[in-house]
Each structure stands twice: as structure tokens, then as C-alpha cells.
Homo-oligomer: A and B are copies of this chain.
Amino acid sequence: MVPAAIEVLTAAAAKCGFVLEFRHFDWSCQTYLKTGKMMPDDGLDRLRDHDAVFLGAVGFPGVPDHISLWGLLLPIRREFEQYVNLRPVRLLPGIASPLRDKAPGDIDFWVVRENSEGEYSQIGGRTGTGENEIVVQQAIFTRRGTDRILRYAFDFARRSGRRHVTSATKSNGLYHSMPFWDERFAAIGAEYPDVAADQYHVDILAARFVISPERFNVVVGSNLFGDILSDLGPGITGTIAVAPSANLNPERRFPSMFEPVHGSAPDIAGQGIANPIGQIWSGAMMLEHLGEDEAAALVMRALEASLIAPDIEKTPDLGGNGTTAGFAEAIRTKLLG
């Protein structure tokens, strides 16, 4: 999928008169099976001087997920302080929502997910054996980490003209972390009197994504809650195979990373029929991050036009018979045409 998406991005760059230079690193579960490591010891250093990382979906049967992800994706997010995971929840033309009576425009919001701390932590462990075993998993919320993601959400809401931030909480059940989160949400929100703020417990919030998605503009959540909500979002827009994500270091001290939301889909791996749109849309977010707004807009227009073009063969997940390469090539042609 990555090579197919690169073709599209390269075409957009050419049309806008700049050059994208890619360096390829073959770090994957296959690498792990051969070397015992997802990436070389100096992997993070090798990435450090790039402007952005364009990542494909990670995962392979036989490699436990917590190995493949804590060996590649999660260290990159952390080392490069990509503390924002930004994901659009947008109903695209040509893709049917599983929700009744929704048309493009009805569902159009953003999930801003904390991406560097919180529930995803390696602190904890097991003690006791057999019947007596106990497992502890710690979630760590720092004031710095919490404030910066909340501030990003409010800034983003202000910048994008969508002046409404909704916080995902669970302060009625999670005794320490979420009351703290609520406190900080109230404190940071007070700095943005021009942005409306409200909050829901994550359980009812998930239900509201289904019942009244129109009411959301920017939804901010912890690492785990943001993860769940930003898969549920593509669920309600029918775009699980299509949704993109940006792992951002907003200060640009380190490279940001762009990847599709979907997993590596081992059931169809190697068949060449996976939908390339998540990867391409992620590429458009990358172009925007690099300051190439015009190229990003070109890609998005070509992508949306291709989704409703009757003569373009789509991949099987969209009901077509097309291949990854064929569908991406059609998008590229549309972009150039």
C-alpha cells in the first residue's frame, strides 16, 4: 500500500513543482522474525533527521501485537513526542454510512487523541503464581502531558473555526486519573472563552457517536479513549478501511508520522486488494503538515472524485473488483488529469 500511495503523492508534488524524497526502511514483523527486532538498535536515530515518517500498517500472524507495536510504532510516537494523534471522522461521498439517513456533511468532526502516555504504559507487571497471580497495569497521566493535548484540542478548535471541544472522561469509575483529567480540562478550557466545552463519560459518548454524530466538532480523549473513539468514528462513517491518522509533534522538534487507522488485515495480506485510501489520505495529511496545502488539496479532490466515479474500479471492501495498485493508479490519473 505504501508504494501505491507514494506514487500518488509524488504526482501531486510534481504538479505543484516540488520534489518529495523518500528513504525506505524495511522494518516490519518479517524483520522481527529474522532478527528478533522490529527495527535496528539505532532505528530511531535513523529517522530523526527526516521531515516526516510515512508508515504502513503493522502486524503479522505469529508476532504478538504487543511485541510488534512496542518495538516500532509506540517507541516512534514517544521518542519523537508525537503527543497528538489526529483523526478525521468524515462521511465521504460514495461511501455509505451504516447509520440511517446520514449524508456527507452530517458527520464531520475530529478526534484529538493523547498519543504518548496515559493508559499505554509498560509500568506494572505480574506477581504470584497460578491461582494467586495478580497483574498490575499502571496508567500514568502527567500534568504536562495532559495540559498539552488539551491545549492542542482547544487551539485546533479555534484554528479550524469549529469552536466546540468535547472531552471523553470516565471520572465516575476511574478514581484518580479521570477526575484529574476533568480538572485540567476545566482549567485549560477557561483559557479559551471563545470555544465551547462539554464532557461525557466515554461509555455514553460512544453511544452518542452513533445516536447524534452531528453534534461533535472536536473530541479530545486520553490515549485509550481516543483510540477507541477514533476507530468507532470510522465505524460510523463506513471508513474503517479508509481512515487516516497523523501522529504529530506540533512543535516540529521531531518528525511527525502519518499512517492509516486500519491494521495490516492479515486475512487479505499479499493479495494486492487492500484499499489504499487510508494510506493516501494519510499522505495528504502529511503534505499539509509539510506546508504543501495545495498538493494536499489536490490529493483529496482526486480521492473524493475517484470514490464517486462510476468508471473507476474500487477495491472489494467498497464493493468493487479492483486492486490496490489499480485503484491508486486511477486516483493518480484523476489527479493529473
Given contacts A100-B100, A175-B70, A235-B208, whether A140 and B136 have CB atoms under 8 Å apart is: yes
Whether A31 sits at the interface, judged by CB under 8 Å, is no
Q: Are A177 and B135 in contact (CB under 8 A)?
A: yes
Q: Are A137 and B204 in contact (CB under 8 A)?
A: no
| Most B CB within 10 A of own CB, among A134, A142, A230 | A134
Task: Count residues on chain A whose CB falls below 8 Å from chain B CBs.
Answer: 70
Q: Are A176 and B227 in contact (CB under 8 A)?
A: no
Which residues 273-324 in A have Cβ within 8 Å of B in the complex? none
Whether A7 sits at the interface, judged by CB under 8 Å, is no
With CB as the reference atom, state the residue of chain B lying closest to A140: B136
Q: Are B143 and A173 in contact (CB under 8 A)?
A: no
Given contacts A124-B176, A126-B176, 11 further A-B contacts (CB under 8 A): A98-B210, A133-B142, A135-B141, A137-B176, A137-B177, A137-B178, A170-B224, A203-B231, A204-B240, A206-B228, A207-B234
Which residue numbers of A lie inside 8 Å of B, CB to CB? 59, 64-66, 68-70, 74, 96-100, 119-122, 124-126, 128, 130-144, 170-180, 201-204, 206-211, 223-224, 227-228, 230-232, 234-236, 238, 240, 263
Q: How far is the CA of A119 from the CA of B138 in the complex (A)?
A: 9
Q: Are B210 and A231 in contact (CB under 8 A)?
A: no
Q: How far is the CA of A135 from the CA of B142 in the complex (A)?
A: 6
Question: Which residue in B70, B99, B132 is a CB contact (below 8 Å) of A143?
Answer: B132
Q: Give 20 CB contacts A-B under 8 Å.
A: A64-B179, A96-B100, A99-B99, A100-B100, A119-B173, A124-B139, A126-B180, A131-B144, A134-B140, A134-B143, A136-B140, A137-B178, A173-B223, A203-B228, A203-B230, A203-B232, A206-B228, A207-B232, A211-B235, A211-B238
Shortest beta-carbon distance from A299 to chain B in Å? 25
Q: Are A137 and B133 in contact (CB under 8 A)?
A: no
